Structure 1
Amino acid sequence: MTALPDFDEVIDRIGTHSVKWDCMESLYGVSPQEGIAMWVADMDFRPPQAVQDALSTLLHQGVYGYWGDESAYQAAVQWWMANRHGWAIEPGWIFTTHGLVNGTALCLQAFTEPGDGVVLMTPVYHAFARVIRAAGRRVVECPLAQVGGRYEMDFDAWEARMDGTAKMLILCSPHNPGGRVWTEAELKATADFAKRHNLILVSDEIHHDLVMPGHRHIPMAVAASDQPVVMMTATTKTFNIAGGHSGNVIIADPALRGRFAATMAALGISANSFGIAMATAAYSPEGAAWVDALNTYLEGNRQAFDAIVNTIPGVRSMPLQATYLAWVDFSGTGMGTAEFIARVEKAAKIAANHGATFGLGGDGFLRFNLATPRARVIEAATRLKQAFADLQ
């Protein structure tokens, strides 16, 4: 078997047109030469060798024309979902989009009208709200409840926010930024909530492979097999190939599938050959072994980060069950948002996502990307501890 990569290898991404590293100074005032980029959700790791080999094959061929015949790609998606997630799908259910933010935008066009409400369980991935508002739809925020230091659904409170004008619910599963792996009971209850309020259920499961040891992700289509659901999945987050801009919208229900197909046709969406080639190679036994090793490494990073950060008085990292995104609560310090952000960015020289951008319930938090070599994770946590040393 091909040797697994060395996740401890430090890869210099400065000057490579990396959003995470090359744009952080203009956005956060943190120099990449001195600072640590922990905001954008991509990894500082190379993908599996099979992905590199697939790109090498395209390069060797030397002709970059229109992509056709997706049968191998569709078979790879089928194999992955069946073997990794216990979910049987048909090739005709799969639509290839330019990533899942694009997939979200297509769902809005296919299933809602301008002015319609779209339900988000906040705090949640900030691109959802951005795309919803850009499409002329309304964000309906249903705040998650914090119970025992983690997020839980709060259906009783959400009932009062439903006035009949919302048409869609977008679930983030596993949850970004809280790192929750939703239980089967929670998923079924979410599907029932959507059915009760006539909401088209869209489940964004881009992080479904990035699950910490001891936890298991259940696809919404499996948990609520008796209800129509629009599933969104991708290789991009799992294998660090987001630059390939490839995602899947998978729809079993014929009526929803027809509406989505019409929108795809109207907008002239077609596949990116590089993204398809990388995804086909990644969804393989070699890719599966790579992900298993990655998740073990990420769990070690989580432990190393939490062991230091959770010793800072008033600071708490939410227990992470999935993703590589630590959601850290600074509200216990008694500081205002501007003060603790200044300490993180100016003193610790770390660029992290501001919690308020994730919607209701996000204020007081920062999101830190732990998908980087462990030495850098430990350095970042140590810097945070030093930046708040006066609280010790």
Structure 2
Amino acid sequence: MKTFGGENTDFDEVISRIGTHSEKWDSMETVFGVSPHAGIAMWVADMDFRPPKCVSDAVKNMQEHGIFGYFGDDSDYKAAIKWWMKEVHGWDIEPNWVFTTHGLVNGTSICVDTFTEVGDAVVLFTPVYHAFARVIEAADRSVTECPLVIENGRYVFDFEAYEKLLTGKETMLILCSPHNPGGTVWMRQELEALAEFAKKHDLIIVSDEIHHDLIMPGQMHIPMGNIKKDITDRLVMMTAPTKTFNIAGCHTGNVIIEDPKLRSKFGKRMKALGISGNAFGMMMTEAAYSPEGAYWVTSLMKYIDENARVFDEAIMDIDGAVSMGLQSTYLAWVDFSGTGLAPEDVIERVQEGAEIAASHGATFGTGGETYLRFNIGMPRVQLVDAITRLKKAFA
């Protein structure tokens, strides 16, 4: 990422979200049995930080104007997306490639609806973000799980093994890049191999890159759109400002399609479903995709990187627990298989002993059964409280 200037942000500020209709905090007791008043929310993937001032100012300006009508003339909005992809990711796009969806789960569902048929199968590299399987199965398609392999502390693909897992019904694969929940940043040769796999089996590639800005210092994300392996005619890119700037509630995602035929088909389905953008989300996106927003992201990732170091050191103190080294995201992926405890016993210690709500690994598919995912996107004083609880619960 290039270097930009901006205002400093106090990521150490503790902001109570209880009673604000926060799914992460106000639903944790219903889902996990952990009181938000006594416990710590580390499950839903949004952070406990305010967004950059440029985003808050955009919302403030809308409020001060006082009229909240339909959003029109999206030229500046799309220009901001084009600027961000070029300046931050070195990826050249055109404004007319961009569709605005109601977030990327919605974007995924429209892709499944548009480019596959009932009875088709979709390849997922598991463990992976649980909403993918939920959307696929709800649309009367099936999931073909292709388990990832751990090598040198990170996930890798095993395409030779995947050849034997395909059923012949597959028409699409969904890539999570960077990977959620493992935090792996895929290398160029891995993405090129994936492209060849998709071409060989005639699969549409849907590349969900919602975490593409949340890259640890020293790592580099490569957009699938920059992999030149003759895959333009089968590639759908998905990005969003929501994870990056902690504005998930605005439900605004970018589906970016270079190929005219794919773009026409997707656009027609968008019209049929009557989907249009959220004015607040589009104004927030335009403000975020700016030099000020880029500066904020750089500061954020320095803070998250230190959070990851502190968290991983603490996990090492729990006999048999292993945290996968984060290359991206703010989601720590911890394997408890070495503790000798059954997954349900681990969950009991975390939820009842430590009073922490963390995402259950089994929900991410094959390979996640012995894991828990912890959201470390929080002020460090809260993180230290959480790891103190964890070490006590496993003592």
Contact 2:192/2:229 (<8 A) preserved: no
Query: Residue in 2 aligned with 1:17?
Result: 21
1: CA distance, partners of 2:56 / 2:71: 19
Q: What code does the residue aligned with 2:76 have? A: A
Contact 2:6/2:291 (<8 A) preserved: no
Choose from 337, 345, 361 the match for 2:367: 361
Are positions 1:131 and 2:135 aligned together? yes
Are positions 1:29 and 2:30 aligned together? no
State the Cα distance separating 1:258 from its structure 2 match: 1.0
Query: Residue in 1 aligned with 2:85?
Result: 81
Contact 1:94/1:250 (<8 A) preserved: yes
1: CA distance, partners of 2:85 / 2:244: 13
- Aligned counterparts, 1:1-392, within 5 A: 2-224=6-228, 226-228=230-232, 229-389=235-395
State the Cα distance separating 1:225 from its structure 2 match: 5.4
2: CA distance, partners of 1:167 / 1:319: 33
State the Cα distance separating 1:317 from its structure 2 match: 0.4
Contact 1:4/1:48 (<8 A) preserved: no
Q: 1:135-184 CA distances to partner (integer Å, 9 max, x unpaired)?
A: 11101100001122321111011001123210100000000000000000
1: CA distance, partners of 2:332 / 2:228: 29
Q: What code does the residue aligned with 2:338 have? A: G
Contact 2:7/2:292 (<8 A) preserved: no
Q: What code does the residue aligned with 2:133 have? A: A
State the Cα distance separating 1:310 from its structure 2 match: 1.3
2: CA distance, partners of 1:310 / 1:195: 42
TM-score, normalization by structure 2? 0.97
State the Cα distance separating 1:279 from its structure 2 match: 0.4
State the Cα distance separating 1:224 from its structure 2 match: 3.4
Contact 2:6/2:296 (<8 A) preserved: no
Contact 1:162/1:197 (<8 A) preserved: no
Of residues 149-158 and 15-24 in structure 1, the stretch that sits farther from structure 2 once superposed is: 149-158
Q: How many residues align?
A: 389
SS at match of 1:54: helix
Q: Which runs of 5+ in 1 are unaligned?
A: none
Please tell me the root mean square deviation across aligned C-alpha atoms, in Å.
0.8
Superposition misfits of 4+ residues, deviation over 4 angstroms:
none
Contact 1:187/1:224 (<8 A) preserved: no
Contact 2:28/2:357 (<8 A) preserved: yes
State the Cα distance separating 1:226 from its structure 2 match: 2.5
TM-score, normalization by structure 1? 0.98
Q: Which runs of 5+ in 2 are unaligned?
A: none
Of residues 201-210 and 222-231 in structure 1, the stretch that sits farther from structure 2 once superposed is: 222-231
State the Cα distance separating 1:326 from its structure 2 match: 0.1
2: CA distance, partners of 1:317 / 1:295: 18
SS at match of 1:119: strand
Q: 1:246-290 CA distances to partner (integer Å, 9 max, x unpaired)?
A: 000000011111110111011011010000000000000000000
Q: What code does the residue aligned with 1:237 have? A: K
SS at match of 1:143: coil
2: CA distance, partners of 1:344 / 1:326: 14
State the Cα distance separating 1:2 from its structure 2 match: 4.8
